[in-house]
Every structure is written in C-alpha cells, then in structure tokens.
Structure 1
Amino acid sequence: MASLEAIANTLRSVAASGMKPKALLAAVRERHPEATKKEVVRAAFYALTESHGDAPQHFLDLHGFAITERAPDDNEPVKPAKLRRKKKDGKVGAAERPVH
C-alpha cells in the first residue's frame, strides 16, 4: 500500500489544468494500482495542505477533484449529518412523577 504522501506527490505531478476527476484518478492508479478512491481523495486534501509553493491553478484543480470525489455518488451532493440531542439522564417524565 502506498503512503498518503507518495500518492500526494503523484497527484502534484500528474494534475493538469482542466483535467477531469476520472482522468486524474486513472493517472494516479497507473502508478498506485492498489490505492482506493478514498485514499486518493485524502491524498488530494493532503497535497493541498502540505503544498510547497505550487501554482494557484494547481491548487484549484486539486481542490476541485477532492471536493467532487468525496461525495458517495457522483450525482448526489454530500448531505450534512443531522445532530441529535442527548436526553438528560435522571429526569422523570410527567406521567411518572410521584403524587404528593
């Protein structure tokens, strides 16, 4: 299994302006055939955060790839998870209150 840093370096070297996400994923998988899509997306975010003075257009291409490919399905946007409130322990409901 290739390291995240190795995949990120590959992404930096193969990413080109206007490259489609599927083409970028295919180019990375030529060099790292065992890499999963999830690992490649993580490496794209890593390449963005750990960049060393690359061209601004290069950032936009990697960012666009990482954002679009993180969705579970290509046609569905990522939906934020709805937070649930925790019930407080120790509270007695109205039906259970003792009558005095």
Structure 2
Amino acid sequence: MASIEEIASALHAIAKPGMKPKALRTAIRQKYPDVTKKEVVRAAFYALTEPSPAQHGAHDELHNFALAERIAEDNADEVLRVSKLKKKKKHAADSDRKTPAH
C-alpha cells in the first residue's frame, strides 16, 4: 500500500491547471490501483500543505479536487462555484492594485 506522501507526490506530478477531479482520480488509480478515494483525498490535502512554486496552477486544482471530493456530491457544484467567484474577485482586486492612479 502506498503512503500518503507517495500519493501526494504523484498528485503534484500529475495535477495540471484545468484538470478535472475525475481525471486526477483516474491518473492516480493507474499508478496506484489499490488506493481508496479517502486516501487520495487525504493525499491531496497533504500535498497542499507543502506546495511547490513550480506547481502553483496545479495547487489550485488540487485544492478544488480535495474540497469537491470531501463534501457531499449535492454540494460540490456550489463550493466550486463559490471558489471560482472568490478567485475572480481576487483577480479583479489584484488588477485594480496594479493600475496606476492618476
């Protein structure tokens, strides 16, 4: 059985920006066929505790994956929608700060 650290490392290597949770699960299960969904979710949260700067885009995808898999199916769309709204607001706020004041 693979350790959480091994699965987390594999998640970091596999996760790409825009990747769907189902694609992440499929890719991990190809590498670790006996891994449970619970172990994958725990590994995703573990992977978030020490993100690699090169994997910044994947960090967001791992976060969304871990949240979506941890909550009930009927609430997953709502949580991801809220996450996307927060991301848009943050992006807008960052853009406002970069605009020079005249």
Task: Classify the secondary structure of the residue corresponding to 2:34.
Answer: coil
1:51 and 2:51 matched: yes
1:74 and 2:81 matched: no
TM-score, length basis structure 2: 0.68
Residue of structure 1 in register with 2:12 after alignment: 12
Contact 2:41 2:70 in 1 (8 A): yes
RMSD (Å) for aligned C-alpha atoms: 1.4
The AA in structure 2 aligned to 1:75 is D
More helix by share: 2
TM-score, length basis structure 1: 0.69
The AA in structure 1 aligned to 2:63 is H
Fraction of identical pairs, as percent = 51
Paired positions, count: 76
- 2: distance between equivalents of 1:54 and 1:4? 21
- 1: distance between equivalents of 2:58 and 2:64? 10
- 2: distance between equivalents of 1:20 and 1:50? 21
Task: Classify the secondary structure of the residue corresponding to 1:19.
Answer: coil
